[in-house]
Structure 1
Amino acid sequence: MEDLKIYLPQEIQKKKFQGLDGLRGLSIVMVIASHALIDLIPAHARYIGKTGVYIFFVISGFLITTLLLKEKLVNGSISLKNFYKRRAFRILPVVYLYLIILFFLNIVYNLGITRASFTTSFLFIKNFSMHKDWYTGHFWTLGIEEQFYLIFPFLITILPLRFYKRLVILLICIIPPLSYVYFMKIDLHVFHVNWSTHLALGLAPHLFGQGTVLILIGSLFSILFLTGSNFINRIYTKANGLVSLVLFLVGILSCISVFPWYIENISEVFFGICIAIAMLLNLKEGSFFGRTLSWKPLKNLGILSYSLYVWQELFTHKQPWNGNLFLNITALFVVAGLSYYFYEKKFLQYKDRFRKAESDTTVHSPVMTPAL
């Protein structure tokens, strides 16, 4: 069976994609606002921060898959070794700097962060850990990103793209209902399974159900876009300039738990699809939302988004030194800026040495996690 053919749409040939830096900037604002105002806003409104993280997941899946498929098209193969080196130089330096500084703050301010919490953060397995604390709580997202990087780029490399696409669709369809059954403990009540069976069934939801599905949605839409899917082509050519904004807002509303249409683990899939389509439509020059997201302050925030995400737990809530919220947020931006421009960029120079696809059509890898 002939494999799917990869194409490079005009929008993908650009060095910068319209709207994506701004979308990251908007997402990090959602995260910071949610954490900084956690004691002042209703519980359901705090979900806006998690929604910001979910947007990062979709962007990450789209950009990583686009990068890998582009490398395959330009060079005929994908270098996993260089991919992992690029990811390591982007993600690890600031994370480990944060943990080192947090280690000393834990001693000075007696923050109560356990050795196990540091260990699970260092190993990027926080999403599996029962050791929770505020200052490393955001590492659950970094763990999900790292686990995706370890598994799925390898699968993209060894599997025909057609089979990889089918696998991704299968996981997107299966994991959300399985996660719903597991986390709601329906299997214990309806199927009368014992705890050991319940925990065994939880491996897939823990590994794939807490954000990975959203990364896979981004990955799937990258494949659909780069292989000329009729479904995507129809939407892309017929949608007007406001559709991406409408889809973005509908996606956000679908994930607010107080609304009657919200179904845990299921609504997130609908959200991911809305964000993925909106993201693709933002690539078009005529997209109103894409042009809005290209506003320079939002783009600059997007560039700093990973740095801001790593450092923000220290400055948005439960600050060891207390202090004025405005001063703490100002300090966050100062620290993140210094971290990015005077520390992380030195490692980014090394990262670029391992970029195999060197041409005018090079795709830039994502800033977050948020990896990216």
Structure 2
Amino acid sequence: MRAPATRLAYIDGWRVLAIMLVFLDHLGANREIGAFYEASPIGFISQYGETGVFIFFFISGYVVSRACLAEVESSGAFSAPAFYARRFFRIVPPLMLYLAFCLALGAAGYIDFSLENVLSAAFYLCDTTAPGVSCNWYVGHTWSLAFEEQFYCLFPVALAYLEFGKAPRPIIAAAVLLFAAAPFVFTVWWIGKTGFVIAYALFFAGYAAAKHGERVVAAAQGFRVPALIVAMLIVFLPRGVVAAFGQDEAARAELIAYYRLLYIVAIPAMVLLSGATSLFRSILSDRALSHLGRASYSIYLWQQLCNGPVFNGLDAVSQLALLAAVVLLCLLLFPLELKLVGYGHALSKRFQASPGAASAGGVPPMAAAVLE
């Protein structure tokens, strides 16, 4: 029987590394830091913001699937309402706080921000070019949250089918598939259709890793370190190396787009093998790093504001100090965030305990809360 899902500290360490990749990318918008990137041989470190988000996608799929699979195995059941209660109180309140603050700044004339921006982000549509969608810099980063929410709508239906063989009602299947397919239909140019494929492949790679990862890692016991190094080289190969094989700008962009498909295998391998390698696991499981990783969701939201156009003219030291202040603010707010998460888990238990609780694909509700 699968052991109850427990928190993996090294995964939180990966969250910190992923958010750092986003920081390094977005800091390039600062005039002074951007000039440093262009003049420095290490300027390529700013190329991995999207890579950091892809790492988050795999982690999300892995953590959610791992917890749900443990609960399904222990209780033989799965409740969609309980799942959504946990996800809602983990994701929505921090986002609403950020959007409300930006709206207040916009109303005061400090930043360019409107109600249309709020609605586009709140309905998780910033990974699309659907009619009426308006996503400027301050909500542009919610494209990643949009992919996650679209996946979370699809996941209970997929899990009920994969684990219990329960086909969803046609109307439910159609609704979740339409929402999940929105970024493929209304494609954002810099995400592209390959980005859509990578995102969903990584989410479901997280499910596969949660279900079979231990066996795969055990089978790789004799060559874990070499495999980890190869995976890291694939993920962090500078894009300039890939682009060098293209004859013109269009060809270079296409090469990079298709090269990213290797992330579907390399990112899961990199994350899982790092957890099975004592040195990497020890470093990534550092207590302070793990705590910072737990607060990374809010940090990801608020870093966008301090890296926005209003502050792009700051000197590098002031920009970094502002970013550090934002991280500190998020850490101070994190205990409140945990209380909301706890409320979501309590509500989840009520759904699970309800005899008539609705469930995905007709599967009975599960008996225990999910630790995420």
Query: Please, what TM-score do these two structures have when normalized by structure 2?
Result: 0.74
Letter in 2 for 1:91: I
Q: 1:206 to 1:259 in 2, by over 3 A?
A: closer
Letter in 1 for 2:107: I
Matched residue SS, 2:137: coil
Q: 1:154 to 1:86 in 2, by over 3 A?
A: same
Q: What is the CA-CA distance between 1:32 and the residue it aligns to? A: 1.4
Does residue 350 (structure 1) correspond to residue 334 (structure 2)? The answer is: no
Does residue 209 (structure 1) correspond to residue 197 (structure 2)? The answer is: yes
Q: Deviations over 1:133-177 (max 9, x none)?
A: 11111011101000000012222113446899xxxxxx9xxx9xx
Contact 2:89 2:343 in 1 (8 A): yes
Does residue 330 (structure 1) correspond to residue 315 (structure 2)? The answer is: no
Matches within 5 A, 1:67-82: 67-82=67-82
Letter in 2 for 1:79: S
Q: Which residue of structure 2 lines up, in the alignment, with residue 85 of structure 1?
A: 85
Q: 1:18 to 1:282 in 2, by over 3 A?
A: farther
Letter in 1 for 2:155: F
Matched residue SS, 2:6: coil
Q: 1:127 to 1:183 in 2, by over 3 A?
A: closer
Q: What is the CA-CA distance between 1:250 and the residue it aligns to? A: 2.5
Question: What is the distance in 1 between the residues matched to 2:148 and 2:91?
Answer: 10
Q: What is the CA-CA distance between 1:51 and the residue it aligns to? A: 0.9
Q: 1:51 to 1:217 in 2, by over 3 A?
A: same
**Identity over aligned pairs, percent:** 24
Question: What is the distance in 1 between the residues matched to 2:92 and 2:45?
Answer: 31
Q: Which residue of structure 2 lines up, in the alignment, with residue 156 of structure 1?
A: 159
Q: What is the CA-CA distance between 1:206 and the residue it aligns to? A: 9.2
Q: What is the CA-CA distance between 1:208 and the residue it aligns to? A: 3.9
Q: Which residue of structure 2 lines up, in the alignment, with residue 258 of structure 1?
A: 243
Q: 1:18 to 1:345 in 2, by over 3 A?
A: closer
Q: Which residue of structure 1 lines up, in the alignment, with residue 15 of structure 2?
A: 24
Letter in 1 for 2:279: F
Q: Deviations over 1:54-79 (max 9, x none)?
A: 10011111111112211110110111
Does residue 281 (structure 1) correspond to residue 266 (structure 2)? The answer is: no
* Aligned mate of 1:302, from 289, 293, 305: 293
Does residue 339 (structure 1) correspond to residue 346 (structure 2)? The answer is: no
Q: Calculate the aligned-residue CA RMSD, in Å.
A: 3.5
Q: Deviations over 1:82-130 (max 9, x none)?
A: 1000000000001001111100101213523243222111111111135
Contact 2:194 2:257 in 1 (8 A): no
Letter in 1 for 2:140: G
Q: What is the CA-CA distance between 1:313 and the residue it aligns to? A: 0.7
Question: What is the distance in 2 between the residues matched to 1:254 and 1:148?
Answer: 29
Q: What is the CA-CA distance between 1:27 and the residue it aligns to? A: 0.8
Q: 1:163 to 1:283 in 2, by over 3 A?
A: farther
Q: What is the CA-CA distance between 1:358 and the residue it aligns to? A: 7.8
Q: Which residue of structure 1 lines up, in the alignment, with residue 223 of structure 2?
A: 239
**How many residue pairs were aligned?**
317
Contact 2:57 2:199 in 1 (8 A): yes
Question: What is the distance in 1 between the residues matched to 2:156 and 2:235?
Answer: 27
Q: Which has the higher helix share?
A: 2
**Range with bigger deviation, 81-90 or 331-340:** 331-340
Does residue 132 (structure 1) correspond to residue 135 (structure 2)? The answer is: yes
Question: What is the distance in 2 between the residues matched to 1:30 and 1:60?
Answer: 17
Letter in 2 for 1:336: C
Q: 1:132 to 1:183 in 2, by over 3 A?
A: closer
Question: What is the distance in 2 between the residues matched to 1:328 and 1:322?
Answer: 13
Contact 2:292 2:331 in 1 (8 A): no
